[in-house]
Structures are given as C-alpha cells and as structure tokens.
Amino acid sequence: MLLHVAAVTVLVNIAIIELDSLYSSSPTKNSDVDFSDESPLHRVFVYGTLKRGEPNHGLIKDTANGYAKFLGLGRTTTRYPLIIATKYNIPFLLKKAGAGHYVLGEIYDVDSNMMKKLDELEEHPKFYERTEEEILLAPEAALKPGKPFEEVGESTKAWIYFLPRYKSSLLDSTMYASYTNNGSHGLKYCEKYVRDASYDHRKERQRRVEPQRCSLNIRSRVLLLMANGLSYVNPREFRKSDDAENNE
C-alpha cells in the first residue's frame, strides 16, 4: 500500500513539473514577436532593366515590395552572352558559360518579399531560372578609370536570372558587357503595359527575331495620352502616322 502511494506521489510531482515547464515557456503573442529572422536577406545580381536608371528599377525602389539595399557594382567571374532580343528588346543573359563577356551589373541585398517580386517579374522558374553564382562585388567609389575590377572587387555569391533554354541562333546576336536602355544600340525596351497582349514574346526564344524599334500600339497610345489629361484622342491620327512610318 505504501509503495502504491509513493508511486502515485511521484507521478503527481512529475505532472506538476511538466505543467510548470509548459506554462513558463509558452510562446509570446504574435504582436510581440520579431519576425525579422524569418525573412533572411538574399544577394541578387541584376544586369538589365532592374538597374538604377533603367525601366524596371522602380520595382526595387518601391518599399511596398519589400526591402532592398544597394551594395555596389558587380561583375560576373565567368563570361556569359548578354543580348537584346525579341520584338520588345528585352535584355537576356543566356546560360552559356564561356561565351560573350564578363557582365557588369549591380548587387543588392533583398528580403524574401522583394525576392518574390523579382521572381514574378522574371517568371522564375518557368521562363528565367535563378541560380547562385560567384560574382565580384566592388564599392562604386573604388572603381576609378583605368583600375581593373579584379583589384577592388571581392568575391561573393549572388543570385542571377538566366535564360536557360533558347534557340542556338540567339548566340549569333550582338553580345554586350553592360546593358543600358539608352545605349548606342538604339533598341529601347518595351515595357509590359505597352505590349500587345495577344503576342507571346516567350516563343521567340525558340528562334532568332531581329530586335525592332519599340512603338506603342494604337490602343496603348490612346490610353497613355488620355491618362495624361487629354479627354479625347482620335485613333485615326495614329493610324496615319503608323502608315507613314511603315512606308519610310
């Protein structure tokens, strides 16, 4: 009988200890939790329209999309073909190591929210594919004329968006070491809001299509002008100008 009572007493004490431990280590309420550790920073190398001064840089600047910090200029440690292709003059970095040039760009640290936005823009992984590569990172102020990138750059790992699947004829395109929308190539990038919704430029990666001068279709130009304050625009005027351009 005494043995039975002793056993029961031990079990009760164990239960009390477990309950005390449970309540003393109960999680903090959500309002008090710091979730910063749940969104680690990711290092990204951008080489095209996401750079400062380029058409899509607004996505990185917009804090509503997440956090982004400019770290410096970057350069690939492997040569890749940076080309401008499709009728919308989109810069692509082809996944073909050893061809092309060492590519210059910018390096950012971004949080998971911003990374998600970048993935959406680049249509990763269905169109572009994001892979982590070795990159040289250099402070912008340290890069003076005539000073090699290798002397001031430090090696780091960063994510890069590549076009992994493409027609081999795209390798015949002009290859660039650095991209700017206002370059001497004259191939202005066509932003998504002015593109023809019925045309799928993704199919062009299967064949080479000569870049074209970007122009707004009639409907897009009418909407753009009306958004800028014009109450009425005659589409026939645009039709006339298009016909004149086509006859040049």
Maximum pairwise Cα distance, the chain: 110
25-48: average pLDDT? 62
58-78: average pLDDT? 98
Least confident interval from 124-128, 132-136, 203-207, 209-213: 209-213
pLDDT, greater one: 236 or 35: 236
pLDDT tens for residues 103-117? 999 999 999 999 999
State the pLDDT at residue 204: 72
Map tokens 């031990």 to a residue.
10
Split at pLDDT 50, 70, 90, the class of 130 is very high
State the pLDDT at residue 235: 44
pLDDT cut 90: percent of the chain above it:
60
| Number of separate domains in the chain | 1
Give the Å distances, CA to CA, from 167 to 19, 101, 173: 65, 19, 11
Could you tell me which residues come within 8 angstroms of residue 145 by beta carbon, excluding any fewer than 6 positions away? Answer: none
State the pLDDT at residue 146: 86
State the pLDDT at residue 22: 39
192-200: average pLDDT? 85
> Is residue 221 in some structural domain?
no
Please give the Cα distance from 212 to 193 (Å, whole number).
17
> Is residue 12 in some structural domain?
no
> Is residue 235 in some structural domain?
no
Residues 49, 56: contact at Cβ < 8 Å?
A: yes
State the pLDDT at residue 39: 59
> Is residue 232 in some structural domain?
no
Please give the Cα distance from 144 to 182 (Å, whole number).
23
State the pLDDT at residue 194: 87
> Is residue 3 packed enough to be buried (19+ CB in 10 Å), middle (13-18) or exposed (0-12)?
exposed
> Is residue 113 in some structural domain?
yes
> Is residue 209 in some structural domain?
no
Q: Is the pLDDT of residue 92 over 90?
A: yes
Least confident interval from 30-39, 65-74, 89-98, 199-208: 30-39
Angle between helices 218-227 and 235-246 (to 10 degrees): 130
DSSP run (H or E) holding 104? strand 101-110
Q: Is the pLDDT of residue 145 over 70?
A: yes
> Is residue 153 in some structural domain?
yes
Map tokens 């210059």 to a residue.
104
136-151: average pLDDT? 93
Helix, strand, coil in percent for the chain, rounding step 5: 35, 25, 40
77-88: average pLDDT? 97
Residue span of the structural domain in which 53 resides: 42-194
Q: Write out the two tokens for 207.
A: 């064949």
State the pLDDT at residue 202: 79
State the pLDDT at residue 189: 97
Q: Is the pLDDT of residue 21 over 70?
A: no
49-57: average pLDDT? 98
| Active-site residue set | 122
Please give the Cα distance from 162 to 107 (Å, whole number).
15
> Is residue 77 in some structural domain?
yes
Residues 159, 45: contact at Cβ < 8 Å?
A: yes
3-class SS at 87? coil
Identify whether 125 is preceded by a cis peptide bond (ω within 30 of 0): yes
179-183: average pLDDT? 98
